[in-house]
């Protein structure tokens, strides 16, 4: 039993450096070398024959090889070039984008009709349109769901009509206006007089 125990101890002493190599790679070089040297001394102490000296030389060669590997893995030089980063300041800027509007203006049966549209042709509801006749403000009205605003006014002597939308900051709408001139056709009346004379 004691021979078996001695043999197993000598096997452990002989092969422990080989088995511990993966663990030694993660340790600093000086600590790894000290551990391997300790195992070599254990082998030297327990082996007194020629076989023991051969194993000692093998262990020392292993230490040299392991030291070279450990040196290569643990002592590496990393060179980096860092470019200085200028001060970066993050700012948020609020950009308000206003939609352009256009207006169609016409007269239908003594009604001034203004239609307010966006650039893409969609209707602009609930916006106030001001109406002017011959440069004088005559009233205002709001557009309906179809962007139409109407105003009733006696246009008998009127020559110019104007509708103005002043824009809306709340809904980001640009102002627009339209103006038309009323052309009047003069009525030509022909009077025919018939005179009859009796002789």
Domains of the chain: total: 2
- Last residue of one domain, picked from the residues 55, 74, 93: 74
DSSP state of 142: E
- Quick check: is 110 in a domain? yes
- Quick check: is 24 in a domain? yes
The continuous run of DSSP H or E covering 34 comes out as: helix 29-46
- Quick check: is 80 in a domain? no
CB atoms within 10 A of CB 117: 18
- pLDDT per position in the chain (199 positions), as tens? 566 656 666 666 666 656 666 666 666 666 766 776 776 666 665 555 555 556 556 666 666 676 677 666 665 566 677 676 666 677 788 877 889 999 999 988 888 999 999 988 899 999 999 999 998 999 999 999 999 999 988 888 888 999 999 999 888 899 999 999 887 666 555 544 444 444 4
User: Is the four-CA dihedral 53, 55, 58, 63 of positive or negative sign?
Assistant: negative
- The encoded tokens of residue 88 equal 């970066």
User: Are 68 and 119 part of one and the same domain?
Assistant: no
Residue 16, domain extent:
7-74
The continuous run of DSSP H or E covering 116 comes out as: strand 111-118
User: Is the four-CA dihedral 76, 81, 87, 90 of positive or negative sign?
Assistant: negative
* Closest by CA position to 143, among listed 120, 117, 121: 117
* This prediction's pTM: 0.47
The reported pLDDT for the residue numbered 89 is 72
User: Are 110 and 163 part of one and the same domain?
Assistant: yes
Place of tokens 């590997």: 69
The reported pLDDT for the residue numbered 100 is 92
The reported pLDDT for the residue numbered 34 is 72
CATH number of domain containing 147: 2.60.40.10
The reported pLDDT for the residue numbered 98 is 86
The reported pLDDT for the residue numbered 1 is 53
């Amino acid at each position: 039993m004691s021979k078996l125990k001695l043999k197993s101890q000598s096997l452990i002493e002989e092969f422990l450096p080989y088995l511990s190599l993966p663990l030694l790679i993660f340790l600093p070089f000086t600590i790894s070398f000290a551990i391997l040297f300790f195992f070599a001394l254990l082998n030297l102490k327990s082996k007194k024959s020629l076989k023991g000296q051969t194993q000692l030389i093998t262990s020392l060669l292993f230490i040299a090889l392991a030291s070279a590997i450990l040196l290569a893995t643990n002592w590496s030089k990393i060179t980096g070039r860092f470019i200085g980063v200028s001060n970066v300041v993050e700012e948020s800027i609020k950009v308000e984008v206003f939609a352009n509007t256009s207006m169609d203006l016409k007269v239908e049966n003594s009604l001034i009709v203004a239609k307010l549209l966006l650039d893409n042709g969609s209707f602009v509801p609930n916006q106030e349109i001001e109406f002017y006749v011959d440069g004088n403000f005559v009233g205002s009205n709001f557009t309906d769901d179809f962007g139409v605003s109407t105003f009733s006014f006696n246009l008998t002597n009127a020559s110019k009509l104007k509708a103005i939308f002043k824009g809306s900051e709340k809904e980001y709408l640009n102002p627009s206006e339209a103006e038309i001139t009323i052309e009047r056709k003069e009525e030509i009346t022909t009077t025919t007089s018939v005179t009859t004379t009796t002789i």
